[in-house]
Structure 1
Amino acid sequence: MTWQLRRAHEVDLAAIMQLETSIFENDAWSATMMARDLGDPACYYLVAFPPDDPTRVEGYAGLLAPRGATEGDIQTIAVADAARARGLGRTLMQALISEARKRGARLIFLEVRADNPGAQRLYERLGFIEVGMRRGYYQPDNVDAIVMRLNIPELESMLTTPALTVHS
């Protein structure tokens, strides 16, 4: 399956929140928090959808990277169950890494649940390395977060990845 990506806006909030609350049952962001990030110019959020149905959001991801800052942070990423294991998470992450580079970031950080080995493997394949642990970070489940960092590769090394089309 192929997806199209486009910049997320407040009109996407309901679809994003539907995924957010179904995937992150106990530690989902509130709609207020998500709306704040969608409207923040320091943030860059994408939604993924099938080309024939732009209203069917099957994934989203968000980056906090103020223009000119040397560091960015992956705020969140989620892929619908039906769209998993098909490369959508990788596609979303690559698009965020590319945007972070455009904004001037040279490092990207993220937290991942210690009990989510699938996500950890994805991030490792993208070049992230483990740099720390936050005990009990995910509440109310009291699950540790593994802190990971990516040294953003130079553009030349990224040219081997498939081209991404992101619509504004």
Structure 2
Amino acid sequence: MGLALRPMRWWDVSSLLAAEQELFGATAWSAETFWGELAHPETRHYVVAEGPDGELLGYAGLLRPGPEADVQTVAVLPAAQGRGVGKALLAELVSQAAAGGANTLMLEVRADNEPAVALYTGAGFERIAVRRRYYQPGDHDAWVMRLRPLPQS
């Protein structure tokens, strides 16, 4: 599968919203949330994954304010799931966190999202805590996961 990663730009937001709604439903981010994130390039890194014809396959975002960075989102469209898109997006976030000086990368994931948990575990993240009823609506627990030390390139 041809896959290209590139920085997310504000004009990408309108095409991401349908995917965001499909993937995350009631907890989907709004256009304003994306724009707010993109307005802080000094501490945020957002990337889009595209196929060979420029079609959206996924996107991901990172908050990197200092020695501890946080995965903000990883989203892979259903048609692209299981094809390595999530792995490529996560690898980009890990690389950018390390390049920005972070030595730890944190994230929260829905405890019942088995494919995402497998992705993160496969990348070396460890489960360190649970946040009960973190995802609303629905009262879904979140696992807090951590990767440290970050691989250096």
Does structure 1 residue 150 correspond to structure 2 residue 147?
A: yes
Matched, 1:105 2:111: no
* Alignment RMSD: 1.1
Tell me the alpha carbon deviations over residues 107-147 of structure 1, each in whole angstroms, 9 at most, x when there is no partner.
00000001101110110000000010111111111101100
Please name the residue that 1:162 is paired with: none
The gaps in structure 2 that reach 5 residues or longer are none
Alignment TM-score, normalising by the size of structure 2? 0.95
Secondary structure at 2:115 match in 1: helix
- The aligned residue for residue 52 of structure 1 is 53
Partner of 1:164: none
Secondary structure of 1:26's partner?
Answer: helix
Correspondence list, 1:116-131, <5 A: 116-131=113-128
Instruction: Count the aligned residue pairs.
Output: 152
Query: Which residue of structure 1 aligns with residue 61 of structure 2?
Result: 62
Q: Assess if the C-alpha contact under 8 Å between 1:47 and 1:61 holds in 2.
A: yes
Residue 52 of structure 1: how far off its partner (Å): 2.6
Give yes or no for contact 1:101–1:152 (8 Å, CA) kept in 2: no
How many angstroms apart in 1 are the aligned matches of 2:149 and 2:11? 31
| Structure 1 stretches of 4+ moved >6 Å | none
Separation in 1 of the partners of 2:78 and 2:135? 21
Q: Residues 28 and 104 of structure 1: is their aligned pair in 2 closer, same or farther, counting only changes over 3 Å?
A: same
Which one-letter code corresponds to 2:94 in the other structure?
A: I
Three-state SS of the structure 2 residue aligned to 1:75 is strand
Residues 26, 141 of structure 1: 8 Å contact kept: no
Higher relative contact order (CA 8 A, sep 6+): 1
Matched, 1:84 2:81: yes
CA–CA distance in 2 between the matches of 1:95 and 1:125?
15
TM-score, normalised to structure 1, is 0.87
User: Aligned partners of 1:135 and 1:113: how far apart in 2?
Assistant: 10
* Equivalent residue number for residue 29 of structure 1: 29
SS at match of 2:40: coil
SS in 2 for 1:6: strand
Structure 2 letter corresponding to 1:111: E
Q: Secondary structure at the match of 1:115?
A: coil
